[in-house]
Chains A and B, each alone.
Chain A
Amino acid sequence: MSFLLVHVAPGDPLIALAGEHGDPAYYAEMRQRFGLDQSLPTQLATYAGRLAQGDLGFSYVQGRSAATVIMERVPATLLLTGTALLLAIFAALPLAALAGRRPHGARDVGISALALGFYSAPVFWIGQMAILGIALKLDLVPVQGMTAAGSDARGLARTLDIARHLALPALVLASQEVAVLIRLTRSGVLDELARDHVRTARAKGVGEFAVLVRHALPRALLPVVTVIGARVGHLAAGAAVVEIVFGWPGTGRLMFSSLQTRDTPVLLGLFLVVALFVVLANLVTDLMYAAIDPRVRLR
């Protein structure tokens, strides 16, 4: 994980994008967003004027380029969201397959109810309850931060320290994605199990487990791939809230402190970076979809 951190941080192409080509993009975003909102045209004009002078490229508070300030925080958020997404995928697939195998059976009802519960609960509440139940009562994992206070551990010790701090926030963030992925994959598995190729496989004498894992699940996963791309914006929003609950030093906490200090350039920059990530993720998943599904041809 720290290896990843080191390699993502310096010289990321996003810095160049947000710093040098940021202004026209900001313009487009602004026009599109506020052009619909006629009640605030004067503010918009002033704001666009300031933008034209390049005023927004710098953090008011820190006196540095907003892009630099943001990019310092991106690795921590990527670590959190990446871990959560992986956890969610590895937890959701077996659960969804189990649930879809015998619809309306006891397992299905239990798993579906669990998914709906996580889908409905606000992520900060799950976080707070996790802190109350797991971290404070059982004293299993640390509650706040990314490293132990005052720790100057290096190498493996530092990795372990980060992992211990990462566990709970990643699980909490994953709970939201698990819920969505279970709901989607389950209905996909249900559809696939009713299809001809599954009936053929069963008729050939393929075991139930192999039918599920080899024949139904892979095809059910096709829509899941795209949905992961579509979830990136949501994941980032969830991460922002989770970071504040757990004091994780990523972009969410930066957003929170920038809100309190009214550091608008940083907030705008954050919006742009998230929007960029969402667009990229959608692009990547669309391409992946086309690559794994021969029925989809890119025009």
Chain B
Amino acid sequence: MPPLIRESGSAELAPSAPLPRVTRREPPKWRAVLSLPNGRLGFGLAATLLALALLAPLLAPADPFALTAAPLLPPSFAHLMGTDGIGRDLFSAVLFGARTSLLVAGGVTLVAFCCGAVIGMAAGFRGGLLDDALMRVTDLFQVLPRFFLVVVVIALFGPGLDRVVLTLGLTSWPVLARVMRGEVLAMRDLDFVVAARATGASGARIIWRQLLPNTLASAAVLLGLLFGQVLLLDASLGFLGLGDPNVLSWGMLAGQAQGFLRVAWWLALFPGLAIALAVLGVNLLADAWAAVLGGQASDRVEAGGRRRPARAM
């Protein structure tokens, strides 16, 4: 008798394959996401952002560091977002800033996902002492004030994107780990895992081939929200002048605008607007994705794997 496969009609096994592959649910979920209005809007915003960031060198009318015109020109057709205090084109700067923001947020999300997945799944799968120990460590990391931690790190080691990504990535995983652990706990004794174990699969193989694919959907909601949070955190750091001074970022532009607030409103308006739209895009996408997953899965995600709601972190 073939082992039962969770949520999949195709339980047939190729004779040569020792383990069943978990197949994806039938109607692709991204189509359901796009059928929701907020999903469409979020996808549009996120896709636009990605396109602008990738095509920045082609789209930018000027070198963002070049002095192209008189300082503090208000927005016009020649300079869509005006010029800054020494005559650089703000539109070009905002375009190139998108690259930095995406790079940082993407890097942090990746690092946090790796940490969270390994810790959460190990804790959920092994249980016992390891679970207890890992969860205490998770508690500890969850109360770390990330923003102030990055400030300290930069103060000690100087500004740089690498340390921002590492520090935020290595401290942003606790909520993710809790959710992954919860998912694994819920799945650990289901038939398809028991079957895999019975065929002699190692723990690592079961985690990699059976459990990980089935947790990705709910992890994606959290990763989306985390991406948005990191965009905001990175913007705040840039605003305080803690970013890499040689790399354009939206937060840095907004920070420079602070000194010109009374004379040049456009300097403050556009970089901040870009951040808000980008974060709005990923949040809408994450919300739509959670709505599509629906019911149990999204409840677990929202509860962060326990009673403390996770979204607010």
Q: Give the interface of A toward B (CB within 8 A).
A: 32-33, 36-37, 40, 43, 47, 116-117, 119-125, 128-129, 131-132, 136, 180, 183-184, 187, 223, 226-227, 230-231, 233-234, 236-237, 240-241, 244-245, 255-256, 258-259, 262, 264, 267-268, 270-271, 274-275, 278-279, 282, 296
Contact B313 A230 (CB under 8 A): yes
Interface residues of B (CB under 8 A from A): 140, 142-149, 151-152, 154-157, 166-167, 170, 228, 232-233, 235-236, 239-242, 251, 254-255, 257-258, 261-262, 265, 268-269, 271-273, 275-276, 279-280, 283-284, 287, 302, 307-309, 311-313
- Give chain A's interface secondary structure class: helix
Nearest chain B CB to A259 CB, angstrom units: 6
Apart from the given pairs A37-B166, A184-B312, 9 other A-B contacts in the complex at a CB distance below 8 Å: A36-B170, A184-B309, A230-B142, A236-B145, A237-B146, A237-B147, A241-B240, A264-B156, A275-B143
A237 in contact with B254 given A125-B275, A132-B265, A184-B312 (CB within 8 Å): no
Chain B contact residues, majority secondary structure: helix
Docked Cα-Cα span, A37 to B284, in Å, equals: 34
Total A-B pairs, Cβ < 8 A: 157
A227-B312, A268-B152 known; A124 vs B236 contact (CB < 8 Å): yes
| CB atoms of B312 and A121 under 8 A apart | no
With both chains docked as a complex, state the minimum distance between the C-beta of A55 and any C-beta of chain B, in angstroms.
14
What is the bound-complex CA distance between A267 and B272, given in angstroms?
A: 27
Q: Which of A43, A236, A244 has a CB less than 8 Å from the CB of B156?
A: A43
Bound CA span A35–B122, Å:
20
Q: List 16 A-B contacts (CB under 8 A).
A: A33-B149, A120-B283, A122-B251, A124-B258, A125-B268, A128-B254, A129-B268, A187-B302, A223-B308, A227-B309, A230-B308, A237-B233, A240-B240, A278-B143, A278-B145, A282-B143
> With a CB–CB cut-off of 8 A, which chain B residues contact A121?
272, 275-276, 279-280
Q: How far is the CA of A256 from the CA of B154 in the complex (A)?
A: 12
